[in-house]
Chains A and B, each alone.
Chain A
């Protein structure tokens, strides 16, 4: 049963951050297409934003590892 805790602890945040990253990347791509001269700025900001979203999954990944080791 505790398998599920570990599995869900990594799976649910992964879904959330995948969706949010998709939205952010789509907006960035659309706006690079609309305004190619701002591509550099948009790219830097996008990488920062993606890193923040990614971090949430990674925190839950660390927690999943901790749960699994304690199991």
Chain B
């Protein structure tokens, strides 16, 4: 059992370039995201088409997610926190579906590629900064960096810079690690050995989606309430 066998594992996990759209290479990650979106968007449309006062069928699922995040946002920001439900809820459901797309046979979940998670994280952090500017005004936003004492300015800027890195690496490494472990186990013992680890993958995928949206809530709260 040498390094060659392990190199083979990496081939199965990393994304491949499928075709070029002009100068831009289109990887399997992007195509997989499109596939997930093509399945997910019609589902949500069908679920949310007819809302009734007394929920029936799929409306329960949507209401559960919405209620959970309403509770979370109101707990941390009070009544005004309800405004941010679309951001947080979208991040949660989309990342959850991307993570669980692993269980479509032959699918590489798009979150095992750093590009996807980095895209999510950078977009989220930029959005959080915009929310901060809108809520505090430009002066208040800049003042926020000098908050406890002006001496901490470089540290505060650094904190904002590190946020997207840690946010994206956390999601990426979790899903990538999960996939690596299962692939290695599959090479060693193909029959039934990876199944318990894959079951762990369901829990991990859900928790990571939850953690991503929880951290978004925490970052927004930071700007709404200050330190």
Contacts and interface: CB of A to CB of B under 8 A. Distances in A.
Interface of A: 41, 44, 47-48, 51, 54-55, 58-59, 61-62, 65, 68-69, 71
6 closest residue pairs by CB, A with B: A58-B173, A51-B211, A55-B170, A62-B173, A61-B173, A61-B177
Interface in B52-76: 72, 75
Of the listed residues A47, A58, A59, A65, the one surrounded by the most CB atoms of chain B closer than 10 A to its CB is A58
Contacts of B6: 68
23 contacts: A41-B75, A44-B75, A44-B214, A47-B211, A48-B211, A48-B214, A51-B170, A51-B211, A51-B215, A54-B170, A54-B174, A55-B166, A55-B173, A58-B170, A58-B173, A59-B169, A62-B169, A62-B172, A62-B173, A65-B180, A68-B6, A69-B10, A71-B3
Given A62-B169, A69-B10, A71-B3, A48 B215 contact: yes
B142 interface: no
Interface residues of B, number: 20
Contacts of A55: 166, 169-170, 173
Of the listed residues A51, A62, A68, A71, the one surrounded by the most CB atoms of chain B closer than 10 A to its CB is A51
Interface of B: 3, 6, 10, 72, 75, 166, 169-170, 172-174, 176-177, 180, 207, 210-211, 214-215, 218
B215 to A, nearest CB: 7
A65 B170 CA distance: 15
A47 B166 contact: no
